[in-house]
Amino acid sequence: MPMDFTGKDIISIKDFSKSEINQILNYAIKMVPYAKGDKTTHLLQDKILSSLFFEPSTRTRLSFESAMNRLHGRVIGFADPTATSQKKGETLSDTIRMADAYSDVIVVRHPSEGAARLAAEFSDAPILNAGDGAGHHPTQCLLDLFTIYNEKKDIGKQNVVLLGDLKYGRTVHSLAYALSLFGANLTFVSPKSLQMPREVVNECTQLGGNPNFTTKLEKALSDADILYVTRIQKERFPDLEEYNRVVGIYQITTSLLEHAKEELRIMHPLPRVTEIAAEVDKTPHAIYFKQAFNGVPIRMALLSLVTGVKL
Amino acid sequence: MKPMKIPRIKNGTVIDHITAGNAIKVLHILNIPQQQGSIVSVAINVKSHMGKKDIVKIENREIAHQEVDKIALIAPKATINIIRNYDVAEKHKVILPNELIGIAKCSNPTCISNGGEPVRSRFIVVDKEKPRIRCYYCEREPDDIASRII
């Protein structure tokens, strides 16, 4: 029996079962021709999306707004909170109450962990979490899963290498959880100081996973099907010296990929800095721009599902 | 028979086997004493066969066990005795409820529950035996629960 997502908040990937995630992924496939503009739909023509970005964003905000526009819905909101009543000291809960009154669905990005969960308490309209500080970013996780699903079909059979800043990167925490839920074989490659947090590893183990740890990328790459690269995030480091020690420690180049499987696919949540050389973009391994596009169909699927107006 | 450190009560509630040193926090969680409330006696670091413990005696007030259960957070071995006419009429061990609202502060400074929003702190109890709680909002588990009691 498929899940009815009408009115449901999308706060954390952990709120969903494997079959519910599969349902979203399969529905997102139907959205692809509309997301590309090959087909037209007026599915959400009577709906208004509040797009509330209390923190900067490029891909997430644009792809949500593109998704709503592709469905012929309307978008209100802000990308710069300094031009809103938050500057006057308004609480998030009051802003959410207003957005609830003005729209049918609300997307929130906020610097505080738990902001989306709190927003859901003050809104009848469904809340889609577009990132809450170092907390969750479920739509990113879903588009990552969607990308693997499109490329490889069976998510659970893949050898997935997660590389880079595994300590501070919220994307890889949710993804490690979700990939474990699907039964994928995980390898975590990072400098020792940026290893995957113990709580995340415990969650993977509780789901039946048995992740491998290494600092040696070349070895991990040899039988990888998916390489998920993350940026070392300067802004998360309390100590600049520590940042300088680890930045640039791993770089994906075409010569490094000579030892990888032909079918290896490389993903990155973007923005990238130097961790993937531009020369890799032209190889069949690179799918990170496809991955960024996949944010549109997955968010179209979610907007349609939670508003209860389906294809 | 050794003399009792604090006298028996005729009617009321005795909270026994409180983790030594935590009686004051227990009273704080239970919002005791209230103004014009009953007489409350507290014994701290009382020797017992299981080591040291604290004891609280509240006269002329029977506290419902659902109300007291939340103290299991910092006193997991506590027992609640309802006293009627000097006899123990009811006795039970505290059991943590599934959720705790408004009694502890999240240890994450950037959690939205610490951000001036009109909400009370909310924790999901993840382990009732060795008390472990997780913030409902940001999902962080505080290491030192006792220090987070509001």
- pLDDT of A52 strictly over 70: yes
B110 touches chain A (CB under 8 A): yes
Mean pLDDT of A150-154: 95
Mean pLDDT of A23-28: 98
- Asked if A112's CB is within 8 angstroms of B111's CB, the reply is yes
Higher pLDDT, B28 or A301: A301
Q: Which of A47, A110, A136, A137 is catalytic?
A: A137
Check residue B67 and give its pLDDT: 80
> For residue B112, what pLDDT band results from cuts at 50, 70 and 90?
very high
Is there a domain that residue A146 lies in?
A: yes
Do A111 and A170 lie in one domain? The reply is no
- pLDDT of A164 strictly over 60: yes
Do A126 and A211 lie in one domain? The reply is no
- Asked if A93's CB is within 8 angstroms of B138's CB, the reply is no
End-to-end Cα, chain A, rounded Å: 18
Do A146 and A277 lie in one domain? The reply is yes
Check residue B52 and give its pLDDT: 94
* Closest alpha carbon within chain A to B108: A113
- Contact in structure between A298 and A269 (CB atoms under 8 Å): no
Q: How many CA atoms lie within 13 A of A77 on its CB side?
A: 25
Q: Which of A60, A95, A139, A171 is catalytic?
A: A60
Over residues A167-207, the pLDDT tens digits come to: 988 899 999 999 999 999 999 999 988 999 988 999 999 99
Higher pLDDT, A104 or B29: A104
- Asked if B115's CB is within 8 angstroms of A113's CB, the reply is no
Q: Which domains does chain B have, with CATH numbers?
A: 12-93 (3.30.70.140), 99-148 (2.30.30.20)
Do A254 and A302 lie in one domain? The reply is no
Do A125 and A148 lie in one domain? The reply is no
Check residue A239 and give its pLDDT: 82
Mean pLDDT of B130-148: 87
Over residues B115-138, the pLDDT tens digits come to: 999 999 999 999 888 888 999 999
> For residue A248, what pLDDT band results from cuts at 50, 70 and 90?
confident
Is there a domain that residue A4 lies in?
A: no
- Asked if A91's CB is within 8 angstroms of B112's CB, the reply is no
- Asked if A117's CB is within 8 angstroms of B111's CB, the reply is no
* Closest alpha carbon within chain A to B116: A91
A117 touches chain B (CB under 8 A): yes
| Full-model pTM | 0.89
The structure tokens 């021709």 sit at A33
Is there a domain that residue A151 lies in?
A: yes
Over residues B46-76, the pLDDT tens digits come to: 998 888 999 999 999 998 877 888 888 888 8
Do A132 and A143 lie in one domain? The reply is no
Do A204 and A281 lie in one domain? The reply is yes
Do A219 and A269 lie in one domain? The reply is yes
Interface test with B, best of A9, A52, A96, A112 (most B CBs within 10 A): A112
| Residues of A whose CB is below 8 A from B142 | none
* A245 catalytic residue (yes or no): no
* Closest alpha carbon within chain B to A92: B117
- pLDDT of B35 strictly over 70: no
Tell me the pLDDT of chain A averaged across its residues.
Answer: 94
Mean pLDDT of A34-43: 98
Cα dist from A295 to A66, A75, A145, A156, A165, whole Å: 10, 17, 11, 21, 22
Cα dist from B81 to A39, A167, B90, whole Å: 71, 48, 6
Do A143 and A288 lie in one domain? The reply is yes
* A205 catalytic residue (yes or no): no
The CATH number that applies at residue A224 is: 3.40.50.1370
Q: Which residues, other chains included, contact A133 with Cβ-Cβ below 8 Å and sequence gap of 6+? A: A110, A111, A112, A113, A115, B110, B138
Is there a domain that residue A165 lies in?
A: yes
The sign of the torsion formed by the CA atoms of A303, A87, B117, A98 equals negative
Is there a domain that residue A2 lies in?
A: no
Q: Which of A12, A112, A134 sits opposite B112 (nearest CB)?
A: A112
Is there a domain that residue A3 lies in?
A: no
Check residue A291 and give its pLDDT: 98
Do A102 and A37 lie in one domain? The reply is yes
Is there a domain that residue A7 lies in?
A: no
For A143, phi then psi, to 5°, come to -70, -30
- pLDDT of B2 strictly over 70: no
Cβ–Cβ contacts within 10 Å for residue A135, how many?
28
ipTM of the complex: 0.89
Percent of chain B residues past pLDDT 90, beyond the cut: 55
Count of the separate structural domains present in chain A: 2
Higher pLDDT, A66 or A83: A66
Q: Which of A91, A93, A114 sits opposite B137 (nearest CB)?
A: A114
Q: Which of A113, A227, A107 is nearest to A170 (CA)?
A: A113
Do A68 and A147 lie in one domain? The reply is no
d(CA A63, CA A139): 11
Is there a domain that residue A167 lies in?
A: yes
Triad A207, A211, A213: Cα angle to 5°: 155
A131 touches chain B (CB under 8 A): no
Task: Give the domain range for residue A106.
Answer: 13-136+295-307
Specify which residues A159 forms β-bridges with: A185
Do A256 and A173 lie in one domain? The reply is yes
